[in-house]
Amino acid sequence: MSAKATRQVFGETIAKLGEKNPNIVVLDADLSKSTKSDIFAKKFPERFFEMGIQEANMVGVAAGMANAGKIPFICSFSCFITGRFDQIRLSLAYSNANVCIVGSHAGVGIGEDGYSQQGLEDIAVMRSLPNMVVIQPADEIECASALEFLADYEGPSFIRTTRQNLMAVHGPDFKFQLGKSDTLREGDDVAIFATGGAVQGAVQAHEALKADGIHARVVNVASLKPFDAEAVVDAAKSCKGGIVTVEDHQIIGGLGSAVAEAMAEAGVGARLLRVGLDSFGESGTPEELYRHFGLDGAGIEKSVRKFLGK
């Protein structure tokens, strides 16, 4: 299967879901060609709403549509839409509105546009809302399956999609499960928990480490809230070297924090290394930035070796 950006998968999948459910509507904030909601717009122009550069207003309109029985998917760059946190907090989360927020162009993987366009704090703020579902798929198969789930889910949700292409890490029969992670590679020397664009690098690191006799478990975490704490506890107990988390996001408030919280609450003593950003993003190609921040296969391998003292 060829590599595909999850933003493209969103556009293709939501158009297919729109055929099955006439209540699905899509709203965009002047970025439909980038978020790929234009695919839905061409197919169902009467159910697509171009809101202009008014993300806050878009949130309010979507809440009203949800109250009227529609199923809105609202789209923008992740940094722009989650930046309207006050409106999301009150109009969607507090009201328990059935609205899915689609945050596109997440992380440094957006590339040359630089930090002002890179969603790097979005998971942290969305995780902080009590009833917000937070999902970040690792490839096109998982993304399509997650969107099928969200089309039937009732309540506020957030799905994070990529600009860059992602290689498939799942087989064609894979089905997304809310609140569950999935183990892509087995190992008991160390566990690598990864999410989104960083997952393919974690798989590559596994292969490189395996060639040197280091067996790394690779766990894909698409459901960031609700979170699979059991998988973390199991890894902390069974992987003697500890846990490494990898994310194209700030290490504070994202996957690394979720893993640390799960370990602390369970009273499990294990070493933890968080790989991600604790800085502002930079401009460069996605490949350059993943290499610079240690999110590619070679970078993750290097971090794991240093963590293990090997």
Give yes or no: 55 in active site: yes
| Cα 285 from Cα 111, distance rounded (Å) | 5
Same domain (yes/no): 199, 100: no
**pLDDT, tens digit only, all 310 positions of the chain:** 579 999 999 999 999 999 999 999 999 999 999 999 999 999 999 999 999 999 999 999 999 999 999 999 999 999 999 999 999 999 999 999 999 999 999 999 999 989 999 999 999 999 999 999 999 999 999 999 999 999 999 999 999 999 999 999 999 999 999 999 999 999 999 999 999 999 999 999 999 999 999 999 999 999 999 999 999 999 999 999 999 999 999 999 999 999 999 999 999 989 999 999 999 999 999 999 999 999 999 999 999 999 999 8
Neighbours of 189 (CB within 10 A): 18
Same domain (yes/no): 212, 284: yes
| Cα 37 from Cα 31, distance rounded (Å) | 8
Same domain (yes/no): 22, 137: yes
246: left (phi over 0), alpha (psi -120 to 50) or beta: beta
pLDDT of residue 64: 98
Residue where one domain finishes, among candidates 98, 130, 160: 160
Q: Which of 199, 201, 180 is nearest to 297 (CA)?
A: 201
Q: Which of 54, 12, 46 is nearest to 148 (CA)?
A: 12
Cβ neighbors of 216 (< 8 A, separation 6 or more) are 185, 187, 189, 190, 191, 192, 205, 206, 209, 210, 304
| Cα 289 from Cα 264, distance rounded (Å) | 32
Same domain (yes/no): 90, 190: no
Same domain (yes/no): 107, 204: no
Same domain (yes/no): 242, 277: yes
Can you list the alpha helix ranges (DSSP code H) found in the chain?
6-20, 32-35, 38-43, 55-67, 78-82, 85-87, 122-127, 140-152, 199-210, 229-238, 255-266, 286-292, 297-308
In a domain, residue 217? The reply is yes
In a domain, residue 1? The reply is no
Same domain (yes/no): 68, 148: yes
pLDDT of residue 1: 56
Same domain (yes/no): 109, 186: no
2 pairs with which residues across the strands?
none
Same domain (yes/no): 205, 117: no
Exposed/middle/buried for residue 69 (C-beta within 10 Å: 0-12, 13-18, 19+) = exposed
Same domain (yes/no): 119, 214: no
CATH number of the domain where residue 117 is located: 3.40.50.970
In a domain, residue 198? The reply is yes
DSSP state for residue 198 in the 8-state scheme: G
Write down the catalytic residue from 12, 55, 142, 301: 55
Cβ neighbors of 2 (< 8 A, separation 6 or more) are none
Residue 32 corresponds to which tokens in the numbers above? 């439909």
In a domain, residue 167? The reply is no
Q: Which of 206, 208, 169, 165 is nearest to 188 (CA)?
A: 206
Q: Three-class SS of residue 108?
A: helix
Domain residues for the domain of 238 are 182-308
| Cα 284 from Cα 255, distance rounded (Å) | 24
In a domain, residue 171? The reply is no
pTM: 0.96
